[in-house]
Amino acid sequence: MKLQDLKHAGLRKWVTEVAELTKPEAIVICDGSEAHYRQLMDEMIASGLATPLNPDKKPGCVNFLSDVSDVARVENRTYISSAKQEDAGPTNNWIDPVGLKKTLNGLYDGSMKGRTMYVIPFSMGPIGSNIAKIGVEITDSAYVVTNMMIMTRVGTKVLDVLGNDGYYVPCLHSVGKPLAEGESDHGKWPCAPIEKKYIAHFPETREIWSYGSGYGGNALLGKKCLALRIASVIARDEGWLAEHMLILKISNPEGVVKYVTAAFPSACGKTNLAMLVPTIPGWKVETIGDDIAWMKFGKDGRLYAINPEAGFFGVAPGTSKDSNPNALIAASKNTIFTNVGLTEDKDIWWEGIGYDAPGKLTDWTGNEWVQNKADKSQKPAAHPNARFTAPAAQCPSIAPEWEDPNGVPVDAILFGGRRPHTIPLVHQARDWNHGVFLGSIVGSEITAAALDLKVGTVRRDPFAMLPFCGYHMGEYFKHWIKIGTRTTVDKLPKIFYVNWFRKTDDGKWLWPGYGENSRVLKWVFEACAGTAKSVDTPIGIMPTIDAIDRPEGVSEADMAELLKVDREGWLKEVEDVRANHYPKFGEHLPKELSHMLDVLESNLKDCCGGKCCC
């Protein structure tokens, strides 16, 4: 398809203007066909950017090795460029849009020289459904095109829905590495240095301009940029929620179904929970989505969730037959791997895959690597944020209704993060506003999913949306409070706070996690059904000590520790939220939340005066 064949005059004009600025060698409109996918993959294999994997072991799969500066999202180069700085709020980087566009126009000038410019029409959500949002990404990266073809719905069908004048979110992307006459990438991942990377969002005009990075959330612009940062602004205006949440379906042995969404920060277990294989007999978990949920009210006054994506961009390390067999099967064919280790016979390997590295590997930096388990400081073969891009339809646990444009009715919302201490295995909010409070104070140890942060330190990551909220976080809290007033209490999802990541003093996991998390989901299910054994505590509603069956290896004392109200730890939380977290939001902090903080503090202080269970 040629540029002239684009029926949509506005789109044709935008593509023409971008081409004039970026000066590509050719323009290709992506039709979304398998033939185009194959052609692009063959080109990238021929140029040495992609390594084809062993067709007997991983048919249709490739591995890419990225640049060291391009292995994860870069939060300090990500901008919410609203007209007023106040509207971006205290948690986002802000640059005045006029200045930023000037800088970026300078960088985009000639940035696609020697490269093909691809135009990707894509739909977040099933094509043509009334909840879907259309975007068009212009990019000079074939890696981005092929990943977008897995992660979203791409092609001429989207252009048909767009018609002559339909609305789309323009998403501009360049890797920022123009090629001189006759120059090629020579198998080297193209990108710009960190200080030239910009992941820019213009919330008022609903535009995304990304420059200099080819990786994941920085470059696949339908995902974090559109479906979260821009969509959160649209959701605020239209009265719904765009969230960093998995969506799962859980059925009890009698076949009763509940739907659960869960917001955990990056690399904190969403994909794993979404694909969980229960260890308790008769229970079943199926997957609707693993990263993003759009939740809107249905006519019946309940919140319905849809997964706007079509694939999984999942963390590879730690994924094994034991921890997440469904992800391994989903990624066993037609999958793009990025930054994993490769065996001599061109199979994948990564830390935590469940078996030792078979012989010599090529690590993610392209060097020979031989496992040395005695050397605790050995660098990993796979980058800790190595990823697989796999079609959702290939996942054995995918629920039949995963593409239902009406979404699924949400019974429970979980918040969580990596907290080695203080936060119990599970507790339940007393009501919606208490749940919003719990979401607002979520903290988590930083993971390798962001390049520029210190791994392991705890930071507040409200609603797991710290890097993904497109406007003032205090206003976002208010939006959540408001959502709770839009329906009757009985129709609202129940809210829970979970923590799979408690550690003992000698650094061991106190809870085995993964499939064993089904025991906690069962209690959540029962709490929604009104049959859970629970007790009121200063921090909220908690399971009684015998309410959750203990998995092997968890003693009664461990369980008591996991379900304890750590009064001193919580008082420190209160102090930190009061001194360091909430003050950031100033006048934008909803009074309901400061009230909840006061209630929590007085509950904790009074707890020996009656209510206490600790």
DSSP 462: G
Query: Residue 267 interacts with ligand GTP (CB under 6 A)?
Result: yes
For residue 167, count other CB atoms closer than 10 A to its CB.
Answer: 9
For residue 507, count other CB atoms closer than 10 A to its CB.
Answer: 7
Query: Residue 297 interacts with ligand GTP (CB under 6 A)?
Result: no
Q: Which is nearer to Mn ion, 269 or 513 (CB)?
A: 269
Q: Which is nearer to Mn ion, 314 or 443 (CB)?
A: 314
Q: Which is nearer to ligand SPV, 449 or 541 (CB)?
A: 449
**Which x/- pattern over 257-276 shows residues binding Mn ion (rule: CB under 5 A)?**
---------x----------
User: Among 249, 103, 242, 236, which residue's Cα sits nearest to residue 176?
Assistant: 103
Q: Where are the alpha helices (DSSP H) in 93-132?
A: 97-108
The one of ligand SPV, Mn ion, ligand GTP, none whose footprint includes residue 271, by CB under 5 to 8 A per kind, is: ligand GTP
Q: Taking a C-beta distance cutoff of 8 angstroms, is the pair 514, 318 a contact?
A: no
Q: Which is nearer to ligand GTP, 221 or 449 (CB)?
A: 449
Contact pick of 114, 317, 391, 470 for ligand GTP (by CB under 6 A)? 317
Residue 168 burial (10 A CB sphere; 0-12, 13-18, 19+)? buried
Q: Is residue 268 flagged as an active site residue?
A: yes
Rounded to a whole number of angstroms, the minimum distance from the CB of residue 319 to ligand SPV is: 14
Query: Residue 326 interacts with ligand GTP (CB under 6 A)?
Result: no
Q: Which is nearer to ligand GTP, 82 or 323 (CB)?
A: 323
Query: Residue 291 interacts with Mn ion (CB under 5 A)?
Result: yes
Could you write out the three-class secondary structure of 45-58? HHCCCEEECCCCCC
Q: Taking a C-beta distance cutoff of 8 angstroms, is the pair 255, 284 a contact?
A: no
Scan residues 445-464 and list those touching ligand GTP (CB under 6 A): 449
Which residues are near ligand SPV by CB under 6 A?
A: 73, 216-217, 223-224, 266, 291, 313, 449
Rg (alpha carbons) of the chain, rounded to whole number: 24
Beta bridge partners of 336: 62, 389
Query: Residue 315 interacts with ligand GTP (CB under 6 A)?
Result: yes
The one of Mn ion, ligand SPV, ligand GTP, none whose footprint includes residue 337, by CB under 5 to 8 A per kind, is: none
Which span sits near Mn ion by CB under 5 A: 285-293, 399-407, 550-558, 587-595?
Answer: 285-293
Query: Residue 291 interacts with ligand GTP (CB under 6 A)?
Result: yes
Query: Residue 268 interacts with ligand GTP (CB under 6 A)?
Result: yes
Dihedral sign for Cα 125, 131, 134, 135, please: negative
d(Cα 297, Cα 183) in Å, to the nearest integer? 53
Q: Which is nearer to ligand GTP, 178 or 314 (CB)?
A: 314
d(Cα 290, Cα 323) in Å, to the nearest integer? 15
Could you please report the per-residue DSSP string of 271-318?
A: HHHHT---SSTT-EEEEEESS-EEEEE-TTS-EEEE---SEEEEE-TT
Query: Residue 140 interacts with Mn ion (CB under 5 A)?
Result: no
For residue 215, count other CB atoms closer than 10 A to its CB.
Answer: 29
Scan residues 246-265 and list those touching ligand GTP (CB under 6 A): 264
Rounded to a whole number of angstroms, the minimum distance from the CB of residue 266 to Mn ion is: 5
The one of ligand GTP, Mn ion, ligand SPV, none whose footprint includes residue 403, by CB under 5 to 8 A per kind, is: none
The one of ligand GTP, Mn ion, ligand SPV, none whose footprint includes residue 268, by CB under 5 to 8 A per kind, is: ligand GTP
Q: Which is nearer to ligand GTP, 40 or 241 (CB)?
A: 241
Which single residue is written with the structure tokens 């003032």? Answer: 472
- CA torsion angle for 393, 396, 400, 401 (degrees, to 10)? -70
User: Among 324, 378, 326, 373, which residue's Cα sits nearest to residue 353?
Assistant: 324
Query: Residue 468 interacts with ligand GTP (CB under 6 A)?
Result: no
Query: Residue 518 interacts with ligand GTP (CB under 6 A)?
Result: no
Catalytic entry in 61, 191, 268, 469: 268
**Which residues contribute to the site for ligand GTP (CB under 6 A)?**
264, 266-272, 290-291, 314-315, 317-318, 323, 449, 500-501, 509, 513-514, 517
Residues making contact with Mn ion (CB under 5 A): 266, 291
Residues belonging to the active site: 268
